[in-house]
Amino acid sequence: EAQVTQNPRYLITVTGKKLTVTCSQNMNHEYMSWYRQDPGLGLRQIYYSMNVEVTDKGDVPEGYKVSRKEKRNFPLILESPSPNQTSLYFCASSRTSRPTDTQYFGPGTRLTVL
Amino acid sequence: AQKITQTQPGMFVQEKEAVTLDCTYDTSDQSYGLFWYKQPSSGEMIFLIYQGSYDEQNATEGRYSLNFQKARKSANLVISASQLGDSAMYFCAMREGPEETSGSRLTFGEGTQLTVNP
């Protein structure tokens, strides 16, 4: 089944404790992206990747890191999480970055930083 | 200016009836994609339907159809024969080229909460 998977689905952590949210897709997509969704602010892009070893900042990259060593994986790293990073996080992928390509979303990761 | 506008924060429909969710967009790009996603209370973001800016026919996917009026810059979602399971938040989104937006991201509207009544 073609899908985007994320782990963990739920995470409660404390300020400053490094964490990684994994994202994997099995559709051989070139483009991958991370979004966060917050009440009143909607969905905002954090980082994106056009292909392996090609990553760039989105609209809200502060406090996050990413890497794209393999085509299928695009982990999101929070080196020192803070409470304002409490959010619902989505990984998404599409065949390419063309505007006519559909972005498919993972199931989401609900992160709480205490 | 908002790129995607959904003017209906909430909509109610009776089971088995059709409902239209409104979406208008703003872009100067010639090539763009318009998408609708469904977000149930469980939180996942489910892709429903897509319309390309050059597509002449309105998109359809099962009970979902997209009423695309390019000159008016509108892309309304029509759900026919509503079901209780259709109760969810619905987002209209647009994707422009990398030249227009950082990283060819999706730009989302604020969403419409649809409630289907039995």
| pLDDT tens-digit series, residues A47-97 | 999 999 999 999 999 999 999 999 999 999 999 999 999 999 999 999 999
The answer to whether A59 contacts B45, with C-beta atoms less than 8 Å apart, is no
CA A35 to chain B, closest CA, distance in angstroms equals 9
| A21-39 per-position pLDDT tens digit | 999 999 999 999 999 999 9
| B83-95 per-position pLDDT tens digit | 999 999 999 999 9
Residue A73 DSSP class:
B
Task: Tell me the torsion sign for CA atoms A56, A9, B110, B85.
Answer: positive
Chain A partners within 8 Å of B9 (Cβ): none
CA A85 to chain B, closest CA, distance in angstroms equals 17
pLDDT at B101 over 60: no
Residue A75 has what pLDDT?
98
Residue B100 has what pLDDT?
54
The single-letter code of the amino acid at B106 is: L
Cα angle, residue B32 at apex, residues B105 and B90 outer, rounded to 5°: 65
| B23-62 per-position pLDDT tens digit | 999 998 888 999 999 999 999 999 999 999 999 999 999 9
Please answer whether residues A90 and B108 qualify as being in contact, where contact means their C-beta atoms are separated by less than 8 angstroms. no
The distance of Cα A70 from the centroid of its chain, to the nearest Å, equals 15
The distance of Cα A12 from the centroid of its chain, to the nearest Å, equals 17
Q: Which residue is listed with tokens 């199931």? A: A107
> Closest Cα partner for A109 from A25, A12, A1?
A12
Please answer whether residues A36 and A43 qualify as being in contact, where contact means their C-beta atoms are separated by less than 8 angstroms. yes
The runs of H, that is alpha helices, within chain B are: none
Strand partners for A78:
A19
